[in-house]
Amino acid sequence: MTVTNETAFLVDFLPVVRRTLSRSGFVIDHVQYYSDALKPWIARREELGRFVLRRDPRDISRIWVLDPDQDAYVEIPYRTLSRPPISAWEQKAAVARLRELGRAEVDENVLFAMVAQMREITEVAAASTRKARRDRQRRAEAPPQQVPTRLPKPPAPPTGSDGKVAARPFEVIEQW
């Protein structure tokens, strides 16, 4: 069997979501999707009913919409293109965290702000964990430092009657 359209073949295995089309595009899990390709369908959205949408859970930055007139998929990106690609897992975790914080309403801006905050926390924790691990490794590899002991204070040199330091003979003379 030969695959003629690789994208359509891959998209066929993605999870299906059914949504109605609004003037602003599609909304799935608090995220809006829009493209100019939707304009012909928006005009007759009442008669088209619910659309078959497919979304990759690893990257929800785009969806594929089954064209009701043709048997092909149309790729539709986020409505706000400046948003970073996120996974469905990140999106669900951000919504759950917002609910924990007492947010009854979740909008797209707050959702992506929470995803950014969660990513930053993860990066800081990973960096500090790596740094702590490196520091522990360096301490383990370093030779143990000996605490310097206090040397006894040498006796004061003898002084003569005139207050000058008297010369002392060498204690040990090395012979060659």
Within a domain: 162: no
Whether 171 shows a pLDDT value over 90: the answer reads: no
- Could you say which of 37, 64, 81 is where a domain stops? 81
* Same domain for 101 and 70: no
**Average pLDDT across the chain, whole number:** 85
Lowest mean pLDDT among 27-31, 57-61, 64-68, 153-157: 153-157
Q: For residue range 94-118, what is the model confidence (pLDDT) as tens digits? A: 999 999 999 888 899 999 999 999 9
Dihedral (CA of 87, 88, 92, 95) sign: positive
Taking residue 31's Cβ as centre, other Cβ atoms within 10 Å add up to 21
- pLDDT value, residue 68: 86
Instruction: With beta carbons less than 8 A apart as the criterion, state whether 30 and 72 touch.
Output: no
* Same domain for 67 and 98: no
Structural domain of 128: 86-140
- Could you say which of 63, 81, 99 is where a domain stops? 81
- Could you say which of 61, 81, 101 is where a domain stops? 81
Within a domain: 152: no
Token couple for 41:
């369908």
Whether 34 shows a pLDDT value over 80: the answer reads: yes
Looking at the 3D structure of the chain, how many domains does it have?
2
Whether 8 shows a pLDDT value over 90: the answer reads: no
* Same domain for 76 and 17: yes
Q: Please provide residue 60's backbone torsions phi and psi, each rounded to the nearest 5 degrees.
A: -95, 20
Lowest mean pLDDT among 48-52, 85-89, 98-102, 141-145: 141-145
